[in-house]
Amino acid sequence: MAKTYAWTGLAALAALTVAAATPAAAHHSTAMFEWGNETPMAGTVEAVEWTQPHIWIWFQVPNKTGGLDRWGIEGMSPSYLSRVGWTKRTLNPGDKITMGIYKLKDGRNGGFIASAKFSDGHVVRHVPGRPAAAAAAAAQ
């Protein structure tokens, strides 16, 4: 996974902003997310929708009153993901994971998946580029 993740000669998606003098291209902006600021959240995968233009993950997260909140989590597209090693079975219903989420700025229970840490400790990156902490460490 690390190898495929490091590979970046791909065509992608949503998540990239486009320079002013570049012809317009991007499915939607990332302005509604805390983009780049990853919040770890522990929970259980309820369902995975392997769909265009983005995959969707429904994520059950324990709340402060002892119940569960359903979070709607957007991901990249199958077009992108299938070429960097993700499949429709990378995440499965029932998986207990800690998801790194770029949360919605408006405070609702939603966001964009940046990474998934499984119970055996292995981490799968989701967005292209390195996590901010890793990039900072690599720069030192």
- CA dist 43 and 68 (Å) reads 9
Indicate whether 132 belongs to the interface with other proteins (CB under 8 A): no
Q: Is 131 a binder of other proteins (CB under 8 A)?
A: no
Phi-psi map region of 107: left, alpha, beta (phi>0 left; psi -120 to 50 alpha): left
Q: Which residues of 98-122 are buried (b: 16+ CB within 10 A; e: fewer)?
A: ebbbbbbeeeeebbbbbbbeeeeee
Q: Check if the beta carbon of residue 95 is closer than 8 Å to that of residue 44.
A: yes
Is residue 126 involved in binding other proteins (CB under 8 A)?
no
In the complex, minimum distance from the CB of residue 64 to other proteins, in angstroms, rounded to a whole number: 20
Stretch that binds other proteins, among 18-26, 59-67, 93-101, 118-126 (CB under 8 A): 18-26
Query: What is the C-alpha separation between 123 and 100, in angstroms, rounded?
Result: 10
**Which range touches other proteins (CB under 8 A), out of 22-30, 59-67, 86-94, 118-126?**
22-30
DSSP secondary structure letter of residue 36? T
| 54 lies in the site for other proteins, by CB under 8 A | yes
Residue 79 contacts other proteins per CB under 8 A: yes
Question: What is the contact surface with other proteins in residues (CB under 8 A)?
Answer: 8-13, 16-29, 31-32, 47, 49, 51-54, 56, 58, 70, 72, 74, 77-80, 82-83, 104, 108-110, 128-129
